[in-house]
């Protein structure tokens, strides 16, 4: 069923960091694998370069996932463009570039993937990142289903809301604070995202009563996913998209 405010049916499973564990994280290779395996939605992380451009990457530092050195926010677009974001994961992915948000947006639309864009600001760049990512998302997905935009940073979400009020927002917490419902309301957010370890009956009851879909990360066990759905969790982020797609779980697509 199409979610009234989201504008598209919320899928049960989002490939985490692009292609989950099957590809280098936050790469176009990951998006292609997710689509190939029948996933209908992907989540990825977006951070700004020194030039203020949005790129797909999780860490503030380049070292873990690429052959670069130093901080993303201190590296120019020109220097990011030549990095290898695949070889650290496996030599078979050598030469895989670090994608821009624009490249990821194009590919998601080509492949028919819905997206959850997680704004991942470097410390001190929360508002700027929220503002830039929201403006780019509006432009890159013009005429298509808008992605769900989430962040651990409420400042980034507030800036995104101000820059592009039409974007569907998700509040993301490792563990939702006691006043999460008021915070979701203040930001005009649509969804609540949290760590699976924070899901409890009280949270589920409150979210259900407020008609706020609860999405949780990271769920890699199919039986755990099914149990969460039975308890009322709307969707999960998973690294194991090889065994946890909606078809693998015997779920009817939401639409």
Task: Give start and end residues of each alpha helix (H) in 42-100.
Answer: 77-81
CB of 32 to Mg ion, least distance (A): 19
Sketch the per residue contact string, 148 through 177, with ligand G3P: x for CB under 6 A, - otherwise: --x---------------------x-----
Q: Is 40 in the site for ligand G3P (CB under 6 A)?
A: no
Check: CB of residue 13 under 8 Å from CB of residue 39.
Answer: yes
The β-bridge relationship of strands 41-48 and 54-56 is: antiparallel
Among 15, 29, 31, 43, binds ligand G3P (CB under 6 A): 43
3 is catalytic: no
Residue of 200, 196, 198 whose CA lies nearest to 218: 196
Calpha distance 107→102 (Å, rounded):
9
CB of 59 to ligand G3P, least distance (A): 9
Q: What is residue 148's three-state secondary structure?
A: strand
Residue in the block written with tokens 């949005």:
54
Q: Is 246 in the site for Mg ion (CB under 5 A)?
A: no
Q: Is 118 in the site for ligand G3P (CB under 6 A)?
A: yes
193 is catalytic: no
Report which secondary-structure segment, H or E, holds 128.
Answer: helix 126-140
CB of 17 to Mg ion, least distance (A): 6
Q: Is 239 in the site for Mg ion (CB under 5 A)?
A: no
> Which is it for the CA torsion 11, 17, 20, 26, positive or negative?
positive
Name which of 12 and 193 has its Cβ closer to ligand G3P: 193
Q: Is 118 in the site for Mg ion (CB under 5 A)?
A: yes
- Can you give the binding site for ligand G3P, defined by CB under 6 A? 16-17, 43, 45, 58, 118, 150, 172, 193, 217, 237
Active site residues: 16, 58
């Amino acid at each position: 069923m199409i979610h009234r405010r989201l504008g598209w049916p919320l899928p049960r499973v989002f490939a985490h960091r692009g292609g989950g564990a099957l590809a280098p994280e936050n790469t176009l290779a990951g998006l292609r694998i997710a689509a190939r395996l029948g996933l209908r939605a992907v989540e990825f992380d977006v951070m700004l370069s020194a030039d203020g451009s949005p790129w797909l990457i999780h860490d503030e530092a380049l070292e873990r996932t690429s052959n670069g050195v130093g901080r993303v926010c201190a590296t120019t677009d020109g220097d990011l463009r030549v990095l290898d974001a695949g070889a650290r994961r496996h030599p078979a992915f050598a030469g895989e570039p670090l994608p821009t948000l624009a490249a990821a947006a194009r590919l998601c639309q080509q492949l028919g993937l819905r997206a959850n864009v997680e704004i991942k600001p470097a410390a001190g760049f929360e508002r700027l990142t929220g503002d830039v990512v929201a403006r780019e998302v509006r432009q890159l997905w013009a005429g298509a289903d808008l992605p769900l935009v989430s962040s651990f940073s409420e400042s980034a979400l507030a800036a995104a809301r101000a820059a592009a009020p039409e974007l569907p927002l998700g509040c993301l917490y490792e563990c939702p604070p006691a006043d999460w419902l008021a915070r979701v309301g203040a930001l005009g957010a649509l969804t609540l995202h949290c760590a699976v370890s924070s899901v409890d009956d009280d949270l589920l009851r409150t979210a259900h009563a407020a008609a706020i879909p609860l999405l949780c990360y990271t769920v890699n066990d199919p039986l755990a996913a099914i149990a969460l759905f039975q308890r009322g969790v709307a969707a999960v982020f998973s690294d194991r998209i090889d065994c946890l797609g909606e078809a693998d779980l015997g779920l009817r697509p939401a639409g």
